[in-house]
Amino acid sequence: MKVTIYTDGSSRGNPGPGGYGAVLQFVDSTGKLHERELSQGYATTTNNRMELLGVIVALEALKRPCTVEVHSDSQYVVNAFNQHWVDGWLKRGWKNAKKEPVKNSDLWRRLLEAKKPHDVTFVWVKGHAGHPENERCDTLATAAADGNNLLEDTGFTC
């Protein structure tokens, strides 16, 4: 089963209120498109945390192992896998190349767990360039950040 996921994160200030948006798409054997949208806002967080959480929540929503193509406008997320930053962090015990602790390691660990059962590839898309699904994710993320039902990002620290 092939699923295409589009994600985006938003933060009103960095840190500040933030949100993520995700669109999951699957075309069944009859050619029918199935789509699901996910979003949530947080009272105080960062853009990078919301970019990560969008991917995490989308992968966690999958009920069985899938071939997944994740489209994100976050070079932070895409490059971590495509340029093998994560591999280096794991080898160095969650330290970056400067031997400093990796930021957002709580979410990186959760993302690695969420992607384990799947065959995942990451594709970078230019943000705010008219890509319909990326624009939809941006709308979901900003609406979530501006919403009233904001959660606490328990992993966020200043």
- Whether 73 is catalytic is yes
The CATH code belonging to domain 2-145 is 3.30.420.10
Which residue ranges are tagged as binding site for Mg(2+)?
A: 8, 51, 73, 138
Question: Is 37 a catalytic site residue?
Answer: no
- Average the pLDDT over 59-81 and give the result: 97
Q: Contact at 8 Å (CB) between 18 and 49? A: yes
* Residue 51 appears among annotated catalytic residues: yes
What pTM was estimated for this model as a whole?
A: 0.96
| CA dist., res. 101 & res. 114, Å (int) | 22
Are 22 and 6 a contacting pair, CB within 8 Å? Answer: yes
Ordered by start, the domain boundaries in the chain are 2-145
Specify the DSSP class assigned to residue 95: B
Q: Is 153 a catalytic residue?
A: no
Asked if 106 is an active-site residue, the reply is: no
Among residues 13, 60, 113, 128, the one annotated as catalytic is 128
Q: Which of 9, 18, 41, 54 is catalytic?
A: 9
- Spot the catalytic one: 51, 54, 71, 153: 51
Segment 36-52, tens digit of pLDDT: 999 999 999 999 999 99
Tens-place pLDDT, residues 91-142: 999 999 999 999 999 999 999 999 999 999 999 999 888 889 999 999 999 9
| 128 assigned to active site | yes
